[in-house]
Structure 1
């Protein structure tokens, strides 16, 4: 049962990056569908990432105060809803809103998955389990553009349908596999969140690591975004 729970965590960790980078291979298709510059479609990546980053400041504390299963189910439900709405998008503006919803939803998934994995793997297997989790999220980053490209010539909406179905399957898996999982204190006040954030911001080591991670991600996101745009509109198009 423990290994089954770990597999659920790995697959759930795969789903977020999958949709996050899905649009990289759909720039031209979405641009033609909505009669906009393909470069404008790239704005959907920060539309996903900024809410995702900001809401994680609070989602971890909420899962500690209440229970991880409920927080995870909420996040997967919102993420699945955002993905379904993305498949129904008829304009760039509506699509941007759905990406924000996706980002908010997955913000209640990712940090809870890390906490759950730490609890169920135990100290002896924690390093290995975290390595597998990192590989699953990286796989999502890699497979996202492949999934988008596979459906680009058929119907781009199907790519988001796949993400929706995968998210719903994870919702069902978490519902049953983590039934009765640990409950928290039942208290999640603004004061608690503020105190925890103040402690984190006061730790220079955390801030250095956070800054390095931010710069590394921005460099990575910038490269893959502009390469995708060049391949869509450049001489190789």
Structure 2
């Protein structure tokens, strides 16, 4: 129990997980309405893609500043301001009468939603010692895994029954509810005496310190890049499931159920192991699982044509290994420079979102129509993270060596 949080840990995990879910949720919810938006606003496919690109650009850009703002003004003001901005931007999307207006308000959404995922990580480490923080982070990962499954279903239902604008009115309502709940319950976890002045020169010096620290960069790569071994399949889901596995759209949910089950199970195991084994051993277990299943997946695709009876299972096991190790790596990232946890969380998010963007824009179109190329792409991304961790492990063996009892 922490003096700033008297409720059960799972309630805090839900609160912070929902903040982190807001970013991907606001993407996945409106994608089913693409056709309706294009028809209503007389938009070309390129213009519709720009509504997504504007959001992602705003999200990546503002990630550079959310953590620094949270280190300077506190965690609560940044979260509440971000939620207020998201709410207004969502209403602006719903009221848009042209594709230009929609692109503008989607960019505003992107600028605001990163606050949740960046600040939530810092709040956990502010409040709890390493082992307890790992348990909370694992619970957050469990709840976070629900978003990719719920968002397309909610967005699709709203679009079919109420029209495309209803999707954004729903996100507006979500913003109002989250602002109210966080105003009431989110603790301010950063004491006044620990806050850093918000000035551009110290901010750039902080980024220079982090970017020049190979420990931080290696940990950020180890946590952010392997996720794309799974995310690649999510990005390529229409081609992978529809063309290669010959599944009907109504059967796609099996893929998401398997992937989410892997994430939730891996996060649960991570929480159970917190404080019982050294962090680096848990990270090793996660990478061993991801490496083993990636090799099996690659071999299977070399030997047999892809089939729904087996081709989705490796992604679920991969998700399990990733979710088992990522809460630990995330906490190690935040503890490299504990006086700048907000800034570290921001830069970690930038590394992850940059990797996601490269995979989405460059790699996915190249491999999406071949199961073998998908398997090669997935294992290659995992190996980048694995190589980063192995080098870190040998160069700085003291990192993650001891399990914390608290």
Partner of 2:369: none
**Which stretch of structure 1 is more off in the superposition, 213-222 or 24-33?**
213-222
Which residue is 1:216 aligned to? 228
Q: Which residue of 2 aligns with 1:24?
A: 31
- Hey, what's the Cα distance between the residues in 2 that align with 1:224 and 1:204? 35
Q: 1 or 2 for the larger relative contact order (CA 8 Å, sep ≥6)? A: 1
Question: Secondary structure of the equivalent of 1:188?
Answer: coil
In the alignment, which of 211, 232, 247 is matched to residue 201 of structure 1?
211
Distance 1:132 1:39 in 2: 39
Find the aligned partners of 1:75 and 1:175 in 2 and give their Cα distance.
12
Q: Counterpart of 1:94? A: 101
Instruction: Supply the RMSD in Å over aligned alpha carbons.
Output: 2.9
**Alignment partners' CA distance in 1, 2:40 and 2:216:** 43
Q: Tell me how far 1:26 sits from its aligned partner.
A: 1.3
Which consecutive residues of structure 2, in runs of 5 or more, have no partner in the other structure? 1-5, 250-406
Aligned length: 231
**Residues 86/220 of structure 1: CA separation in 2 closer, same or farther (3 Å cut):** farther
Is 1:12 the counterpart of 2:19? The answer is yes
CA distance in 2, matches of 1:2, 1:125: 15
> What does residue 67 of structure 1 align with?
74
Shift of 1:159: 1.6
Q: TM-score, normalised by structure 1?
A: 0.83
Q: Tell me if the contact between 1:23 and 1:41 (Cα under 8 Å) persists in the aligned partners.
A: no
- The answer to whether the aligner puts 1:129 opposite 2:139 as a matched pair is no
Runs of 5+ consecutive residues of structure 1 not aligned to the other structure: none
Distance in 1 separating the partners of 2:200 and 2:16: 28
Match of 2:201 among 188, 191, 201: 191
Cα displacement (A) at 1:220 = 5.7
Partners of 2:227 and 2:209 in 1: CA distance = 22
Identify the match of residue 51 of structure 1 among 53, 58, 82: 58
Alignment of 1:163-178 (within 5 A): 163-178=171-186
Are 1:57 and 1:197, in contact at CA under 8 Å, matched by a contact in 2?
A: no
Structure 1 residue 226: deviation in Å?
7.3
